[in-house]
Structure 1
Amino acid sequence: MQWITDRRVALWVDSPAMGAPFQVQVMLARDWNAKPDARFPALYMLDGLRARDDESGWTIETDAANFYADKNVNVILPVGGQSSFYSDWLEPDNGKLYQLETFLTKELPPVLQNSLRTTDTRGVIGLSMGGTSAMFLAARNPGFFKFAGSFSGYLSTTSLGMPQALQYAMQDAGGYNVSKMWGPPSNPLWAAHDPYIQAENLKGTSLYISSGSGMAGPYDQVSGIPGVSTNYAGMGLEILSRLTSQSFATKLNKLGIPAQVNYRPSGTHSWPYWQFEMHQAWPQVANALGVETAAPACGVGGAIAPVANANPWLGGCVTGEYPVAGGVAQDFRNGRIFNSGATGTQVLTGMIGGEYQAMGGPAGPLGLPVTSELGTPDGRGRFNHFQAGSIYWTPQSGAHAVRGAIRDEWARQGWETGPLGYPVGDEINTPTKDGAVQGFEIGAMYWSPTTGANSVQGLIMQKYGQMGYENSWLGFPKASEQGPIRDGGRFSVFQNGNIYWSPLSGAWSIKNGPIFDAWGSQGYEGGRLGYPVGDERPIPGGTQQDFQFGNITLIGGNAQIH
């Protein structure tokens, strides 16, 4: 799980059905932080035919993140599934075996309930492909969703010409073959996934259906022909959605199944219209899921008020003040403000806020923030300092906490302007020895109880890695990299030996012991032997290490210089 912000997470959930992890992002409910014991209903939001593998179209193309910031639902965003129709496929295609109905209805819910305080009260909305899927998933899994909404969905998939239309669309969006999904049109799976045919199973589900007319609307660029948008493909797709939505709505009416149906007088198959429908559908979604339509009023006062007023980009508050370990906090649309007598009033936002949440927030090892977010002197990054550490962020490395002895040594070396640069990973325990390591742009910082915190970097770090890091005979570093020395070289001292590097000789290890002592008697790299040009190696009767201008042999415990 990766925290993107303090209220948005990315999960990679193992799917036994698909044999691979599948990413889901979750925008957490308004009261997630303020009410840590509360659980929240879920709203699944399904993407269109061209779903991307890095982020949902809903958060790329619409204001969904801001819109749901004050809503008390966990918004579930499957990421990926291009041309999948969120269904279980008969065969793999393009290297993927989609089994997304099983994933969304069987494999994902326990993860959401156990890890993200999500209840079994659920709704689903989708656009285009996702609108089709929202309706047949609700119909095929009666009772799983209390609400289903289709924005520009194709709601009659077996009617004349529709299988061929889907084949054309899926071939265009990723080169997928529709027959790998449900077989030929004669296969019963087509009917089993047709919202029109499965309509009777939607009794008891709150339904919302919308589509435009295909004519140019308020969010379209008009061509030279009156009423015709320059989005020609979007015109045709929306007309197809309108026709199938009308057939579907008529069937619902005959079955006596109520639905909110909106046939817009204009509009093409495009994101601005789906954002509009997302807003329009919310009161019905909220009613079906049992949450407030409008967020309760919240005020900003005390020490938090002047900081909030000085940072208008935070947006309005979405909660009141609530207690946290050591102080109080308040959530805003785009971040949080913390206050305590010991640390003052500080702002956290974005990925730094997410990393802080991942570390346990105020109750975690960092404690409360002691600064608001600041820019680094080089202009590349941002940071917050905390009572017991810091979090640094750059666009390239993301946000990572630095704390304890590793932070102290990193600070001594010059923070991000020192030889290591920015952190690129979180601190982790070394797997087989008592210690810790953290990766930076130009190396790593190691810590152990016996050696303290020391850095290894550059080509010396590369050599250390080739040898097995701290699990090699070298052990942990005892000092940070030192130099420059002769010919611009550098070296690092480890528990059981050293690594030396120079531009002419490369990086090589040398063990503590007779060979090292003999080399030292000649002045180390500054003496007549120069730098090592190889690691110690076996020879008949002993071992040998080669240097730029000679070698040292060790036979019978006797070191000889040549």
Structure 2
Amino acid sequence: MPVALAVATTALLTVGTAYAEPGAAPPTGEAAKPTKPAIRNAVWLTDRRVALWVDSPAMGTQIQVQLLLARDWNAKPEAKFPMLLLLDGLRAADDQSGWTKDAGAEAFYADKNVTVVLPVGGAAGFYSDWKQPDHGKTYKWETFLTKELPPLLDRDWRTTNVRGLAGLSMGGTAAMTLAARNPGFVRYAASFSGMLTLTTLGMPQAVAYAMRDAGGYNADAMYGPPTDAEWEAHDPYALAEKLKGLSLYVSSGSGLAGVYDIPAGIPGVSTNWTGMALEVLSRFSSRQFVAKLNKLSIPVQVNYRPSGTHSWPYWDFEMRQSWPQAASALGVEAAKPDGAAAGAILPVALGKSWLGDCLTPEYQLSGGVAQAFRGGRVLWSGATGAHPVGGMIGGAFEGAAGPAGALGFPTSDETPIQGGAQQAFQHGTIVFRDGKAEIHAT
């Protein structure tokens, strides 16, 4: 495996290029607050994964959003693709989404023809517009995700208004809430272990406890006290009728120890006590929500697993399990097309196991051809022959317009250097060292 590819799987946000500085702190102070939505910075992490920093006037700061670009994004530069937003859980981190950090979303969606949108951050925020700031943050996630971000992605990143939402735990709640509160925004909504009744007896208190436990967040700043009408205005159960016409998916475990849990020595009991309790709560609320949908004659695909706790391996499973339904709702094929390497690309593919399986047929480029694999691409021209490009070097190359840009086609494979790796191109070199991929054009 190339050095730059290996590091790309573990230190994603420490990398940049000569023309983009990643990881910079968002502007602070009144003067720096954005006045209109804009993409301020884009850092290519691989040839199909991009980190964006987006100005959000609603939140008064920059928000990081990562994209897993559709399978054919490079092969069909004029095409546009549906969007699937994947929402995180209560402990959403500020460096990258749990879907790439704790689950296998990047590899799984590599052969899917949708662009996956991963909002980063927002711990305990329920992707809502909060009543008041808390912890120095002005959470206005609903405005950001439904109003500010989509036009930018449609314009600059070739997404369409065919959209879906899926999320785990807090994100599952938000998937249903956002879908119901914003008619026409999505065609598909999926909840994996979401809390789908927010106003039943004891639920506001349970949510408030979980928010405090996740980082000291105050539920009163979000929706007010439990008697405030904002709780019902964001309750999937209360909003159920507004989900008519959407493709819906709901899943949860039972809370009993499952195949991904560590047994505690008592039958059915896991060492993940908190995960057991949360999944029981999710199952209870999901059953109530589904019963309401059934009463309203709204179809929903339900997967109640006989075991499993509130933890990432089960959400990774549901991501895969729910994909055929998501694909159908978004109008894309569920399976990748047939394709195999041939000609000059074949020996390269056979000799570089890190490339993985083939994702696309060969496609034409100006002056050559390319073929996409799960781990990167192989590019060929008559002048250079065939060479693989992947990882952060591949990201820097794509960010510089690929072979159509100043670098031209690769003339060598990636080679190790002290502290990193480098790769030669017709008109320059990309050097990966100290967590940065830098372009040296000639």
Asked if these proteins are the same fold (TM beyond 0.5), I'd say: yes
- Provide the residue aligned with 2:421 in structure 1: 382
Instruction: Work out whether 1:242 is the aligned partner of 2:283.
Output: yes
Q: Quick one: which amino acid aligns to residue 323 of structure 2?
A: W
CA distance, structure 1, for counterparts of residue 423 and residue 317 of structure 2: 37
The alignment partner of 1:253 has SS state of: helix
Alignment of 1:327-338 (within 5 A): 327-338=368-379
- 1:88 equivalent in structure 2: 129
Give the aligned partner of residue 440 of structure 2.
402
Say which SS state the counterpart of residue 315 (structure 2) adopts: helix
Matches of 1:24 and 1:90, distance apart in 2: 23
Provide Cα deviations, 1:179-238, integer angstroms capped at 9, x if missing partner. 000111111110000000000000001000000000001111111111100110000000
Corresponding residue for 2:272? Answer: 231
Letter in structure 1 aligned against 2:422: F
Any conservation in 2 of the 1:93–1:180 contact (CA below 8 Å)? yes
Are 2:65 and 1:39 aligned? no
The aligned counterpart of 1:432 is none
1:138 to 175, 179, 187: 179
> Percent identity among equivalent residues?
62
Amino acid in the other structure paired with 2:355: L
**Counterparts of 1:348 and 1:300, CA distance in 2:** 15
Within a 5 Å distance, the mapping from 1:86-485 to structure 2 comes to 86-376=127-417, 378=418, 380-394=419-433, 396-404=434-442
Q: 2: distance between equivalents of 1:62 and 1:397? A: 23
Question: Could you tell me how far apart the structure 1 residues matched to 2:156 and 2:415 are?
Answer: 32
Query: Per-residue CA shift, 1:438-493, capped at 9, x if unaligned?
Result: xxxxxxxxxxxxxxxxxxxxxxxxxxxxxxxxxxxxxxxxxxxxxxxxxxxxxxxx
Deviations 1:89-130 (A, max 9, x none): 011000100000000000000111011000000000000000
What residue identity is the alignment partner of 2:326? V
- Quick one: distance in 2 between partners of 1:399 and 1:158? 50
| Matches of 1:104 and 1:212, distance apart in 2 | 28
| Partner in structure 2 of residue 549 of structure 1 | none
Which TM-score applies when normalising by structure 2?
0.90
Task: For residues 497-553 of structure 1, give each alpha carbon's deviation from its aligned partner in whole angstroms, at most 9, with x where no partner exists.
Answer: xxxxxxxxxxxxxxxxxxxxxxxxxxxxxxxxxxxxxxxxxxxxxxxxxxxxxxxxx
- Determine the C-alpha separation between the residues in 2 that align with 1:292 and 1:60: 26
Question: Could you say which residue in structure 2 is the equivalent of 1:24?
Answer: 65
Q: What residue identity is the alignment partner of 2:345?
A: I
The whole-number CA distance in structure 2 between the counterparts of 1:196 and 1:218 is 30
Please list every run of at least 4 consecutive aligned residues from structure 1 whose deviation after the TM superposition is greater than 6 angstroms. none
1:387-445 C-alpha deviation (Å, 9 max, x unpaired): 00000112x341110122xxxxxxxxxxxxxxxxxxxxxxxxxxxxxxxxxxxxxxxxx
The residue identity in structure 1 corresponding to 2:440 is V
SS across alignment from 2:84: strand
* Separation in 2, partners of 1:185, 1:340: 65
- Alpha-carbon distance between aligned partners in 2 of 1:348 and 1:174, rounded to the nearest angstrom: 41
Is the CA contact (8 Å cut-off) linking 1:41 and 1:74 kept in structure 2? yes
Q: Aligned letter for 2:252?
A: S
Bigger relative contact order, structure 1 or 2 (CA pairs below 8 A, ≥6 apart): 2
Separation in 2 of the partners of 1:62 and 1:309? Answer: 28
Alpha-carbon distance in structure 1 between the residues aligned to 2:416 and 2:431? 10
Supply the AA of the counterpart residue of 2:400.
Answer: M
How far, CA to CA, are the matches of 1:346 and 1:364 in structure 2? 17
SS at match of 1:5: coil
For the residue of structure 2 that corresponds to 1:383, the secondary structure is strand
Query: Aligned pairs, how many?
Result: 401
Deviations 1:226-268 (A, max 9, x none): 1100110000000000000000000000000000011110000
Match of 1:557 in 2: none
Q: Deviations over 1:45-77 (max 9, x none)?
A: 000000000000000111111110000000000
State the one-letter code of the partner of 1:305: L
Give the match's secondary structure for 1:274.
Answer: helix
State which of 45, 67, 73 in structure 1 corresponds to 2:114: 73
> Could you tell me how far apart the structure 2 residues matched to 1:279 and 1:360 are?
32
Letter in 2 for 1:87: S
Q: 1: distance between equivalents of 2:106 and 2:213? A: 29
Contact 1:374–1:384 (Cα < 8 Å) also in 2: yes
Distance 1:224 1:358 in 2: 52
Q: How many angstroms apart in 1 are the aligned matches of 2:101 and 2:298? A: 34
Tell me if the contact between 1:143 and 1:205 (Cα under 8 Å) persists in the aligned partners.
no
Contact 1:348 1:373 in 2 (8 A): yes
Q: CA deviation at 1:325?
A: 2.3
The aligned amino acid for 1:401 is: I
CA distance in 2, matches of 1:70, 1:397: 27
Q: Shift of residue 326 of structure 1?
A: 1.6
Task: Identify the residue that residue 10 of structure 1 maps to in structure 2.
Answer: 51
Q: Residue 109 of structure 2 aligns to a residue in which SS? A: helix
SS at match of 1:392: strand
Structure 2 CA distance for aligned equivalents of residues 156 and 200 of structure 1: 14
Partner of residue 495, structure 1: none
- Secondary structure of the residue that 2:45 maps to in structure 1? strand
User: Which 5+ residue runs of structure 2 have no aligned equivalent?
Assistant: 1-41
RMSD across aligned C-alpha pairs, in angstroms?
Answer: 0.6
Deviation at 1:81, TM superposition (A): 0.4
Shift of 1:312: 1.3
Unaligned runs of 5+ in 1: 405-562
Contact 1:167 1:178 in 2 (8 A): yes
